[in-house]
Amino acid sequence: MNSGYTLMSIGALLLFMMAAINANRVVVDSDSEALKSEQYVECASIVRSIFGEIRLKKYDQLAPDTTTVVNPASFTLPATLGPEMGELFTLPDTGVFKSASMYNDIDDYNGYTRIVVTPTASDTVSVQVSYVDSINFNTSATRTYLKKIAVTVQSRPRVSPETFSTIQAY
């Protein structure tokens, strides 16, 4: 009779241990997902900040400062998108970001990288700028009235590299 109770006690103890392990797994997964969500929010904040900085710049170095519409053939060549002489500095940009004061047009950010330190991570942010066509927004080998700005944030421990894009029109 004692062996029956002992066997039932062992079975109950095993069931309790399995339930405790599963409950612990749910808590750990929940905490991991909460941290992942927080990191996505931080990534979005970083991207929003750099998009805001870029949008304050002129559309193109060669475009006039007026509201006069010019032929896109007068814009910077696609192969030469990036900073001009006098706008070059060591990348990645860190601390007080030099891009805000040294860059004067959108395409200066092509190939730009910066390190952004947040409370939860140190992120590498890279920017690509390209012309896009107005029909399907694919990258264009010719100059157009539209530029695509793609910002990639990477180095997050629980989040794969994320790329956010926007289109800026002349």
Q: What is the structure's pLDDT at 162?
A: 85
Q: What is the structure's pLDDT at 66?
A: 64
pLDDT in tens, the chain (170 residues): 566 667 777 776 777 677 667 666 665 556 667 777 788 888 889 999 999 999 999 999 888 766 677 788 889 999 999 999 989 999 999 989 999 999 999 999 999 999 998 877 888 999 999 999 989 999 999 999 999 999 999 876 666 888 999 999 98
Put simply, whether the predicted model's pTM sits higher than 0.85 gets the answer no
Q: What is the structure's pLDDT at 50?
A: 96
In angstroms, what is the C-alpha Rg of the chain? 26
DSSP reduced 3-state for 29: helix
Tokens at 72, concatenated: 């896109």
Residue 107 CB neighbours (<10 A)? 29
Sign, CA dihedral 165-57-41-90, equals: positive
d(CA 145, CA 71): 9
d(CA 139, CA 45): 26
Domain that holds residue 108: 2-169
Q: What is the structure's pLDDT at 151?
A: 96
Q: What is the structure's pLDDT at 122?
A: 85
Q: How far is CA 103 from CA 2, 40, 87, 106, 135, in A?
A: 83, 28, 6, 8, 29
Q: What is the structure's pLDDT at 4?
A: 64
d(CA 87, CA 98): 9
Structural domains counted in the chain: 1
Length of the chain counted residue by residue: 170
